[in-house]
Structure formats: structure tokens, C-alpha cells
Structure 1
């Protein structure tokens, strides 16, 4: 006899039960052409080309862009950045974040659709897939067809080309951290180190999996940008939208709606082309969805259909929510102006700081064991330790000067040479004769100046401690 107070339990795996999880249906994207896809292809080719070829660019006989982690230096087109320049990296990331906010408020997820690495690599993998297996209908038909020689050859060719591109991606990534010319030559001799082999293999597998199999799942479930983008949207954000007032009700072979007949079909003929070309598999006619990456493929596909049925373009278009509701849109609005102003100010200050950056680091530390000391000859001395770093990539000759009250003298070498990236620890003694001059504690300056480049100079303030009388 069952307990009336107990909630009945049912077997979820029994026949007729509905599963909470369903098998993912692979999205087969139909190729389309149009003005926005031409722009998208150009940005994607530019992004991929920049990534693959930038490590091969030479600058002053060296790799133009090299992040030398063992040497603790980043070389970027003649500029050398050291751990002491971490502020520039932080500044760059903050500027990139504000740029993302600015363009999201202005035009939605335009970054995702046109320059995102996941979009770029997925697009290349789709081109390879299209070239090997044909367009959307051919691929769907092949998925359900039995394994034949033709299917095996086509599928094998696709995966081989995918792996080649994935391997080039991993090799190029490691080439940003290890000289890519030497790295490539050592492939034949199997002379890669353990970490080089690991990271090339890691990025090869990651690219092959993300762009070849996961694709839109990375955008939908792994990318945090898809989740918080809606916070930055407003009614004036430029988004890809379907004009429901013009398109509904749908009907195949629809004629243009007449104002005197409100029940006449709209311009949408329900062909489904907008869904077939969508890389995330959504139906833009259902309204704005977080899955939309603003790639505008549905716009180009719909415009092509409108041309064929002799209807005006723009049933699906870039527009704003206010425009769809018959309200005026505002490009210049407080949030966008605030992000734009912050981005402009930070970018300007960053460029000015970078332009005025001196490739010379000077740190002065006083001897903390004693404030001053008296020598056997009666001289009063302060001891300092100078850390001097040549941030450039070329040898430099320097001179050291002391500025301070009259009577102070420096008892160390004042000229020295440092190789590119070399650090010198220089002990410096500053003293005076109390029998000749009266001295009180005062501020002094150490100036390190390049003898090869008069524009390179670093002035550091310190303190000279004298005994109180």
C-alpha cells in the first residue's frame, strides 16, 4: 500500500518519457554571397593573413614581433618591452575592452561576426568543407549516405586539410614566442623541445576541435561575451532584425501587401534561406537572440530572394529597435559618447606615453644599513646602488652625472657601455669634506644620458643625508 504523503516517483528512462537532453544536430551552413559577406570575407582574410604572416616579418634583421619569455622581453617592430613596462600591456587590454564596449553599443556583436578568431577559423574550415563535400544539400545528403569510396575520399581530404590548417595555427602561435624561422627548420630534424611540442600539439587539437566540430557551441556556451552583451544593448543599438510588419503573414509566392487588404500575405515567402545561411542555426524572424553574431548572412540571403521575386530589399536589415517601432533612432547618445570619450582619452594618453617612452630604466637605492658613514680621512659618504637597464636592442654608451649642492662629489666611473637588454648594477658613492663646506641633508639627482642618442636620458631623484650639527 502506497504512502499518500509521498510524492510518486516515475522512471525517466521508461518508454514514452521525454529526454531533457537531445543530441546536437550539426548545422550545415549554406554558402551565400552579398555586400556584407564580401566585407566579412575581407576582414576574415585580413585577420587570418595577419596572424599567419606577422611572425615572418623581419625588422632590423630580427623577427618583428617576438614575445621572448626566457629573455623577459617583448620585441614589437623595433620596440622592446620589459617586465617593467607591464603598465603598457595593462593599458592596451583596458583600451581593447573599452573599444569592445563602444562598438557593441554602436553595432551589437559586430566583432563576433567579422573579426573574432572563432569566426575566422570556423569560416576557413567551412570553406574547406564546401570545397571537399559541396554545398549544404550535398553535405546533408552525404551525412545520410552509406560509406562509399567517394565519401571516404571526400571526408578524408577534408580532415587532412583541416589538420594542416590547425597545425599551421599551432606552429604560428608558438612562433610568436620562439623564433619561427628556427622553429620551422627544426621540424625536419625533430629538434623541438618538450614545451614547443606540447603547445603546437595543444593548439592544433584545439583549433581542429573548435573550428571543425564545436563551431557555434563555442559562441553559444563557452564565450562569455554572448552572455553579457545584452547589458550593453539599448533601443538605438544597430542590430540585424527582421521587419515583421512588412513580412507577416508569411506565404509562398506572396504578392505585395495591399493597404486595403490587411490579411494579404507579407513579403516573406517563408523560403527559409535566412535560417540555412545562419552559422548559429537561429531563425532571425523570431526576434533578437543572443546567439546572433551579427554576421549579416541572413541579410544577403534575403536580399537575394527579394531581388528574385522583385520586392524591395531590406526585409532583414541592419536597423534599431526604435526604427522598427516607428520611433526616431539616435546615434549620439550618452552611453555611446561616454565610451567614445573614455576610449579617445585613453588611446591618446597611451600613444603619447608610448611616444615619450625612454628606452632606459634607472633605479636608485640608498644603503639602508646606515644613513651615512665617516671615512678615516673625515669625509662624509652616502652609498647608493644604481640598477641601469638598456631597454633598446642595440649597444649604447652612457654617462652618469650628479646634480646637487656645491661640494658634493661622486667617486665612481661615469661612462660605461651596455649591450641591448643588459642590466648593470653600479655602486655609487657620494661624499663631501665637512672641513671645507657645510652641508645639510638635501635632494640630489642622478642623470644617466646616452652618448649615442641625445634624446635618451633618465633623471632619478634621491636624497643625501648629512649629519646634523
Structure 2
């Protein structure tokens, strides 16, 4: 049993679920990984903001037209019936994420995650407006003045404008962006467009402008379960403790052996460049997004000190302990095989996709009818769905039973682009020709103006069995 003094017992005990946020001022860094990160940022942002303005076959290159239920992706038009292709694509994306994480750690977080990409561009804006890391710290600590207010107002004006442009572009993937832009200029935006532009703009401004590393640390679930995909051969960013410790400052060019120290000069630049504010020298942490900024700045310091580079580097746990690193291992091979199979399935699904769909519905009121001529009649309703970009005229024919007849004229049936048309179909067959009580029949539907647009669906023809 423990006892407390009178003074100690009167002190309130405070438990904090989250550490109080201290603003991070990431130092600008240059190097091979910073270059790769910037190239990725420019490419992804260029695609995001540029694709809606590119026309392809007289329509926006990528447009999800929800009212018309048309989804334009470059030269192809997809419909709600094609959602299984989207499902395959999402599965491929998930498996690819697992594959790259197992192989090389958090590549997605460090280079391609929207939170990372937009945070990088926001940091670039801040450096251009407020200056370097030291100038930003000095500005925030300075007393309030007209100059400080002016800089802050201008900065947030730029960030909010950019965020609203981001929201406008997002909505532009669902509403033609040329029409959307004209509506903004003419101040005739509809309520839904206005809501989503503001909502997505606010989300961009809040996440990339204010919360930043808090999203990665507290909100993103990926940081929590990423370790489940790591193994001893996964590439991670790691500090070489054997080479770097003990740490200590010294003059440039001084020998670490003579000084009785490791190669780490304890400059703390690796902390200053980290966008989430961690010290990589304390080991692998879930907050690390794998941006490799610490590698670039440490290599630069090692070069200035005339020490070998690689004190902080991409490595594996096995390599750190002197063991052999295996790139091809069962988990990697499984992911590769699964990705190849899913990709092949997606390519086949797109290539074999026919822009016409036929649903066959039998008459549920009766199994079959017997005509005055002694023939057996079955009645169907064919739902024709035209998923092409043009209105089409379809011809319908049926096979499957010897000498069967389709009653009526089923040629030149017009179906508008994206339209659905119900076509009642009556089929007669001689009961003597029936081989069983349920026979398979095939409905062949073909477009008159395009022979490549055709499909075959089967149904069941019911009747008596005459022995």
C-alpha cells in the first residue's frame, strides 16, 4: 500500500487520450526522394485538375453522369450494369496496396495518398508566402501586428481559393466542368453543386491546411494495421544504431572514431524535416509515413561531414541484423499471382463487354398455352437495354427447337441510347418436336447498324411431353 503526502493528494490527476497538438514546421529538404515525391505530387495533381478539361470523342474524358446513368472513361461508356468491373478494379487496388506495403512499406502514404499530396502543396504555398521554417516560427511567435495579420490573411485566402478550386474540380467529374464553370461565373449554381463544392473544399482546407499529421496519426486506419502486412524482409526506413551511436556534436570533418562517438552528430535535422514530427532514431513508429525526407537530409549531412551516406536508409529488419533479405517470398508471389489474375479478368471483362443486354422474363400467369392448331405457345417479355452511345435498331430471332416459330415482327426495334424497352415475344412449337418438358431456347439480338453489337441469351420453353 502506497501513501501520498498532503501536497501530492491535492494535485488533480489528468488523463489525456490525445497529446495536445504542437504545430509542426517541416523543413524544406532536397534529395532524390524529395525529387520523386515532388514529381509524384505534380503528376497526380496535374491529372486531377487537368483530366476534366480534356475532351474525348465529343465528351469530357472522365465524367460520371449520374442523371443519365452514363460513366465516360476516355473512349468507353459504362453503365450501372458494368459495376462488376468497378468491383474488380477496387479489389485490384486493395491487393496492390497490400503488395506494395509488404514489399516496400508505406509507399502509398509517403508518395501518393491524397492527404500527403495536398499537404505537400499547402506546405509549398506556406513557404512561398511566409518563408522558410525559421521565418515561419519567428512569425508565429511575433506579437500581433498589421504585417503579421496581412501575411496570415493572404496565406489563408490562397489556401481557401485553392481548396474551393479543388472542390470545383471534384464536382466537375460529375457535372460537365465547362457548364459548371459557366454557372460559377454567372452565379447560377444549383444547390447540390454549391453544397459539394463547399463541402469538398472545406475538407481539403481542413485536412491539408490545419489537421495535417493529425489525420495520419489519429484518423487514418491504415497506420494502425499496416504492421500486419510487414515482415522481416519489408523495406522500412531505419536508423543504423550501431553506426550512429553514441551521438554527439563535433566539428566538420572530425573523425568519429577519434571523438569516441558514432556518425550521428545529433543535428536533429531528421526531426525538423519530418512531416509528422517523429524522431526516426527511436526506431520504426506507426506515425512514420515513409516519405524518406529524413534519408535525404541525413545523406546531405553525412556528405558535408565526409562520412559515408546511409546512416538513415531504406533497409529491412533482416539486413539490420546481418541476415539475407529475400525479395521473392511466398506472400509476394501470392500477391503477384492474384494481381495478374484479377488484372487479366478486368481486361477480359472490358474487352468482351457487349453494349447490349437482354433480360428474359417468362409469363408467370401460365406455364404454356395450347393453340387451336395444336401448337404449344410460350410467352416472354424481353427487356432490351441499349448501352451504346447511339440509338439502335435491333432484330430478334430465336432458335433451339426444330421448326419453332416466333409470332409477329421483331425487326427494327428502336431503343434509345441508355434506354430500356420491353418487348413481348410469343413462340410456337410443335409438341412432337419437344424432347423434354423443359427445353432450352436461344434469343439472338443484333443491332442493324453495327454487327459487333449482338448478344445471345437462353430461356426455357415449357410444354407437355408426348411419348
What is the aligned-residue RMSD (CA, Å)?
2.2
Residue of structure 1 in register with 2:347 after alignment: 351
Q: Deviations over 1:433-463 (max 9, x none)?
A: 56xx644542110011222222222110111
Cα offset, 1:418, TM superposition: 2.4
Aligned to 2:101, the other structure's residue is in SS state helix
Residue of structure 1 in register with 2:449 after alignment: 452
Q: Deviations over 1:258-296 (max 9, x none)?
A: 4xx7x8111110001100000000000000001111101
Q: Are positions 1:123 and 2:127 aligned together?
A: no
Residue of structure 2 in register with 1:70 after alignment: 67
2:48 to 48, 51, 54: 51
Distance 1:92 1:220, change over 3 A: same
Aligned to 2:185, the other structure's residue is in SS state coil
Residue of structure 1 in register with 2:427 after alignment: 430
Contact 2:392 2:447 in 1 (8 A): yes
Residue of structure 2 in register with 1:101 after alignment: 98
Residue of structure 2 in register with 1:311 after alignment: 307
Distance 1:9 1:91, change over 3 A: farther
Q: Are positions 1:218 and 2:215 aligned together?
A: yes
Cα offset, 1:185, TM superposition: 0.5
Residue of structure 1 in register with 2:400 after alignment: 404
Residue of structure 1 in register with 2:321 after alignment: 325
Distance in 1 between residues matched to 2:329 and 2:352, nearest whole Å: 34
- Point out where structure 2 has 5 or more consecutive residues left out of the alignment: none
Residue of structure 2 in register with 1:164 after alignment: 161
Q: Deviations over 1:393-444 (max 9, x none)?
A: 122332211112222111232222323212111111111356xx64454211
Cα offset, 1:204, TM superposition: 1.0
Distance 1:9 1:144, change over 3 A: same
Distance in 2 between residues matched to 1:96 and 1:460, nearest whole Å: 32
1:374 to 370, 373, 380: 370
Between 1:353-362 and 1:128-137, the stretch displaced more is: 353-362
Aligned to 2:343, the other structure's residue is in SS state helix
Distance 1:343 1:312, change over 3 A: same
Distance in 2 between residues matched to 1:63 and 1:134, nearest whole Å: 39
Distance 1:34 1:174, change over 3 A: same
Contact 1:256 1:266 in 2 (8 A): no
TM-score when normalising by structure 2: 0.93
Contact 1:79 1:392 in 2 (8 A): no
1:108-257 alignment runs, 5 A limit: 108-253=105-250, 255-257=254-256
2:289 to 285, 289, 293: 293
Distance 1:401 1:302, change over 3 A: same
TM-score when normalising by structure 1: 0.93
Aligned to 1:251, the other structure's residue is in SS state coil
Distance in 2 between residues matched to 1:348 and 1:268, nearest whole Å: 49
Q: Are positions 1:466 and 2:441 aligned together?
A: no
Residue of structure 2 in register with 1:416 after alignment: 413
Cα offset, 1:10, TM superposition: 10
Distance in 2 between residues matched to 1:290 and 1:443, nearest whole Å: 60
Distance in 2 between residues matched to 1:12 and 1:80, nearest whole Å: 72
Distance in 2 between residues matched to 1:465 and 1:16, nearest whole Å: 83
Distance 1:10 1:241, change over 3 A: farther
Distance 1:13 1:50, change over 3 A: farther
Aligned to 2:314, the other structure's residue is in SS state strand
